[in-house]
Amino acid sequence: MARLKVLLFLIGLTVSLTAVAADFWVKKPYQNWSADEARRMLEESPWATTYTLSGIQTNAFGNDAPSNTGYRGEMEGNPTVSYNLQFRSAAPIRRAQVRTSQLNSHYDKMSAEQKAAFDTSAAKFLATAFSDRIIVSVTFHSNVQNYESLLRNYWAGQSLAKLSMTVYLNTNSEKLGLIDYSYKEDTFQFTFKRPKQISPDEKLGVEFVHPRIDRVAQQRILQEFSVKKMLVDGEPAF
Average pLDDT on 91-101 reads 95
Position 124 scores a pLDDT of 94
* pLDDT score of 73 more than 60: no
How far apart (Å, rounded) are the C-alpha atoms in residues 104 and 115? 13
Residue 72, number of CB atoms within 10 A of its CB:
15
Domain assignment present for 128? yes
Instruction: Give me the mean pLDDT over the 130-156 stretch.
Output: 95
The percent of residues in the chain predicted with pLDDT above 70, rounded, is 82
Angle at 68 (CA atoms; ends 63, 73), nearest 5 degrees: 70
Q: Where are the alpha helices (DSSP H) in 85-159?
A: 91-104, 112-127, 145-156
Residue 48 lies in a domain: yes
Burial class (CB in 10 A: 0-12, 13-18, 19+), 230: buried
Sign of the alpha-carbon torsion through 144, 146, 149, 153: negative
* Structural domain boundaries, residue 50: 24-57+65-236
Mean pLDDT of all residues in the chain?
Answer: 84
Residue 3 has pLDDT above 70, yes or no: no
- For residue 1, tell me if it sits in a domain: no
Q: Checking DSSP bridges between strand 187-193 and strand 168-170, what pairing results, if any?
A: unpaired
In a domain, 208, yes or no: yes
Query: Is position 96 within any domain?
Result: yes
Whether 6 is covered by a domain: the verdict is no
Instruction: Say what the pLDDT of residue 129 is.
Output: 87
- The stretch 199-225 carries a mean pLDDT of 93
Q: In this predicted structure, what is the pLDDT of residue 61?
A: 34
Residue 165: the pLDDT is: 94
pLDDT (average), residues 123-152:
94
What per-residue confidence (pLDDT) applies to 20? 42
Number of independent structural domains in the chain: 1
Report the pLDDT value the prediction gives residue 13, as an integer from 0 to 100.
Answer: 40
Q: Please compute the mean of the pLDDT values over residues 225-232 and round it to a whole number.
A: 92
Query: Nearest to residue 136, comparing CAs of 168, 161, 164?
Result: 168
Task: Calculate mean pLDDT across residues 66-79.
Answer: 51
- 59 CB contacts (<8 Å, ≥6 apart)? 65
Q: Which residue has the higher pLDDT, 46 or 16?
A: 46
Closest CA to 203 of 237, 170, 177, 233: 170
Name the pTM for this structure.
Answer: 0.80
Residue 32 lies in a domain: yes
pLDDT at 9: 40
Position with higher pLDDT, 12 vs 132: 132
